[in-house]
Amino acid sequence: MFSSNASFSRRWLLGAALCSTLPAVAWSATEPSPFTVDSDTQVVWIEAESHHGSASVGGHAWKLNKAVAGFSGSGAMRALPDDKVARTSGYVGKSPRLDYKVSFPEAGTYYIWVRGHGPNSGADSVHLGLNGKAQASGEKVSIPRTKGYAWGGGSRSVKVPSAGVHTLNLWMHESGAVVDRMLVTKRKLSNAEQVPPPAPATAEAAPAIAFDSATQLARFEAEEHHGSSVVGGQQWKANTTVSGFRGKGALRALPENTVTISTGYVSKSPRLDYRLSFPKAGTYYVWVRGHAPGGGSDSLHVGLNGKAQTSGENLTLAKTKGYVWSPGTHTVSVPSAGTHTLNLWMRESGVVVDQVLVTSRKLADPDKVGADTPPPAPAPVGYVTLTWKANKEPVTGYRVYYGPAASSTVVEIANLKTADPSFSASAPKAEFRIYEDLGIKPGDQACFRLRAYDKTGLSGYTQSVCVKV
């Protein structure tokens, strides 16, 4: 996502053409979406550097800072210069400010935790407010003076007048203070570490998992996750102690300390994330191939997009010496075609997961898929070539989206990085096999659109371009 700051007011110029030349399609970078308070955990995590706006006042400004190791995200923000200035009163008009747009589900009091670094006693506090106005309950949030980062605040709060989007403000109280991230919640917490932060996103490194068009299923190894989280000392770790796994190994919820989490697992259990490109909305059955070392280590939970789904709870594996598939009765409801994140949470410590299969079909045996499916027709020979004009300013890469119609061009099928030696940044293009890559036959329609990105985020979409293949 891009800042609305003038330094990012670039225009991305992409002209898409399918085996022909089409006029250029231009679009403008848009402001990042608001942060959203999660309805299940009642919290929202905010990286300090991911602000929607900033203001420099009296020679002071918030600047990206990486001098102190241990920050999360891409860095922290520091009020500079560190010239021993303190703004105890009148700070709304006298102090540099950071703005964060937050979508609140309801009105009320929201507590703010601030993770930061206090280099010394004269550089260890900030002020918080809402919609550009001071609130006494958010003044002088102290950041612990430690060698690294630590959480402060917790008892400080802001009063939100109504549901919807409001702007959370952070002002410098003392120059030199460093802010790394914030946690906003309606809950009273004794420690911010009670709530696990979201799993780090690694979507750039691994594309979404696609469904096979012939068998209507996606099968993948447990270790091929896009993200994972560590909660309360529990985490999913690579495991090869039980023979019979597929791929490079399996994942086990460790330590095996007889912990069972049946409720509240969204925030209390370690999680695995898998991004899938679903071909359509609907109910999908989730099969898990795993190993249950004992009756207290044989179950997990399944959900979607970081939220629990009752139909995916308490998935239990039979207790055997090796690996076995789950019953296949657990499901998730997918709201729309496109990319969504399938989540696996530990229910019982010690459970082992080797492989996952997701399908809209009812199966009798995941290892015999295809027995009741006619063999696919011979793959047609042919390619679709997509070309476009390179962006005038340097970009990190382009994402390509595909669909059968202009209104449903939502499935990401390629992430092309300009640093890749095989990709021409000056004359970008992408080539796809019409059957193997797109799963379509000659005569079908294929529609494409693009998004460019750099370290600051993604651009908007180009217009869709369609062609008969």
pLDDT level of residue 197 (50, 70, 90 thresholds): low
pLDDT at position 27 over 70: no
CB neighbours (10 Å) of residue 283?
A: 10
pLDDT of residue 7: 23
Mean pLDDT of the chain: 84
Q: Which residues contact 139 (CB under 8 A, 6 or more apart)?
A: 127, 128, 156, 173
pLDDT of residue 74: 79
pTM of the model: 0.45
pLDDT level of residue 180 (50, 70, 90 thresholds): very high
Half-sphere CA count of 423, side-chain side, radius 13 A: 21
User: Is the C-alpha dihedral spanning 373, 377, 378, 382 positive or negative?
Assistant: negative
CB neighbours (10 Å) of residue 108?
A: 13
Q: Are 380 and 433 in contact (CB under 8 A)?
A: no
Share of the chain above pLDDT 70, in %: 87
pLDDT at position 11 over 80: no
Q: Are 183 and 45 in contact (CB under 8 A)?
A: yes
pLDDT of residue 199: 53
pLDDT of residue 204: 43
Mean pLDDT, range 240-250, rounded to an integer: 91
Mean pLDDT, range 5-15, rounded to an integer: 29
pLDDT of residue 214: 83
Q: Are 388 and 16 in contact (CB under 8 A)?
A: yes
Give the whole-angstrom CA distance, residue 122 versus residue 95: 15
Mean pLDDT, range 45-50, rounded to an integer: 90
Domains in the chain, CATH or no CATH each:
6-30+379-468 (2.60.40.10), 42-194 (2.60.120.260), 215-368 (2.60.120.260)
pLDDT at position 312 over 70: yes
pLDDT at position 47 over 60: yes
pLDDT at position 92 over 90: yes
Mean pLDDT, range 227-241, rounded to an integer: 87
Mean pLDDT, range 376-398, rounded to an integer: 76
Least confidently predicted of 13-22, 146-155, 394-403: 13-22
Q: Are 128 and 156 in contact (CB under 8 A)?
A: yes
Q: Which residues contact 287 (CB under 8 A, 6 or more apart)?
A: 325, 326, 328, 356, 357, 358, 359, 363, 366
Mean pLDDT, range 399-411, rounded to an integer: 86
pLDDT digits (tens, 9 = 90+) for 337-351: 999 999 999 999 999
pLDDT of residue 410: 83
Looking up tokens 């918080």 gives: 128
pLDDT of residue 25: 31
Of 181 and 373, the structure prediction assigns the larger pLDDT to: 181
Alpha carbon distance, N-terminus to C-terminus of the chain: 33
Of 267 and 94, the structure prediction assigns the larger pLDDT to: 94
Cα 26 from chain centre:
27
pLDDT level of residue 405 (50, 70, 90 thresholds): confident
Beta-strand ranges (E) seen in 143-295 are 150-160, 164-172, 178-185, 209-210, 217-221, 227-228, 235-239, 250-254, 271-278, 282-291
